[in-house]
Chain A
Amino acid sequence: MSESTIKIKGKKESTFLDKAKGIVPEGGNLNLCLTCGACASGCPATGLEDMDPRKFLRMVCMGLDEQAVKSPWVWMCTMCQRCIYVCPMKIDIPQLVFNARAEWPREERPSGIMKSCDMALRNDSNSAMGTAPDDFVFVVEDVLAEYQESQPEFKDMQAPVDKEGAFFFLNQNSREPVTEPDEMVPLWKILHLAGVDWTYGSKGWAAENYCLFLADNQCWERVTRVSANQADELGCKVFLNTE
């Protein structure tokens, strides 16, 4: 909890709050806070940067936009939504945090998140590691052939890429194909034994979406649409997000 007292200097219109209310579904109940503190008491981010969810919301409601929105704390809330779950008024603080992130000039947002987003925009993989579609396809085919041979019980196992009409469109965190490809195999085995009709996409195969975390709405929509379009083009029925 906070150790310092918030001092309010005169009246100030909360432009950020008004803006957020216009974007957040149902207005996010942002005016309904009872100040009970259930959110803050169970939030792992409470105390970081001398901030907590209740304090953040109160500051925004009191018009202390600059201090609240510019606090690095908005990058330390993981938007896990536990605060909504325990809130008697179901106030959507995580959405408020997301919109606070979006208020930051893009180049001032954490560079690690920004670079991961930019990597995903380099090609149609969506990979935060910048891996190209061809490289992903090569790794999958290479690893599959190796296991079909070395574990003959799985000689008929498949790891399809761009299989038309597959029921499930499955994505994959980049770290597996790029840094630990053997970790892809147990999942393939389970899908094989269960007789599941699935496919990866050569486009939009990467599961992570750092543009979303960056609160870059235009870019995260673009990344998401690459995946969704590929699933649609292939005629898949269900999108399985493994991340």
Chain B
Amino acid sequence: MVADDLRFVIKSCVGEDNVIEMTPNKSNNYCCGGGGGFLQSGFTDARRQYGKTKFNQIMETGADYVVTGCHNCHAQVHDIGHHFGAHYNTVHIWTLICLSLGILGPNERAYLGDDLRDVDVFHPETALY
């Protein structure tokens, strides 16, 4: 099952103890509200109200990082975090994989928080910012 495969990858990157599941999860999880065209529909208030369910779920975990599966989810989870005043970071799985392999350059870290931005930087001399 692909959900378990992805959990295996994330646990391998950050360590089993650092992975916190949301409740409910997998097929029983709540949609973040970015999909189905909602992000482009113009119904911004409704989209954020929808996203509050996911936001509450994220806050319950107390996690510092949320891994999202696609661009729609990334944009929505990032937006509701900002909108509702949380401080979690929203990342793609490729960022975690490359960080854990020590091959994540300084310009590939747009979504890492301050705690990880300077950790194990690959070719730090190429930093543009």
Q: Which residues in A have some Cβ–Cβ distance to B below 8 Å?
A: 42, 44-45, 47-49, 72, 75-80, 82, 85-86, 110-113, 115-116, 128, 147, 150-151, 153-154, 173, 175-176, 180, 182-183, 185-187, 189-190, 193, 207-208, 210, 213-214, 242-243
Contacts and interface: CB of A to CB of B under 8 A. Distances in A.
A50 to B, nearest CB: 12
A115 B42 CA distance: 12
B89 interface: no
B70 to A, nearest CB: 5
A193 B122 CA distance: 15
B97 interface: yes
A176 B95 CA distance: 14
Contact of A243 (B47, B70, B94, B95): B70
Interface residues of B, number: 41
B71 interface: yes
A187 B34 CA distance: 22
B50 A243 contact: no
B71 A182 contact: no
B49 A77 contact: no
B38 A78 contact: yes
A231 to B, nearest CB: 19
Interface in B1-46: 27-31, 33-38, 40-43, 46
A145 to B, nearest CB: 14
B27 A49 contact: no
A35 B76 CA distance: 31
B117 interface: no
Candidate in B33, B47, B54, B108 with the most chain A CB atoms within 10 angstroms: B108
B71 A175 contact: yes
B126 A150 contact: yes
Contact of A80 (B35, B37, B46, B94): B35
- 6 residue pairs, one from A and one from B, having the closest CB atoms: A213-B37, A80-B31, A78-B36, A112-B40, A186-B94, A44-B53
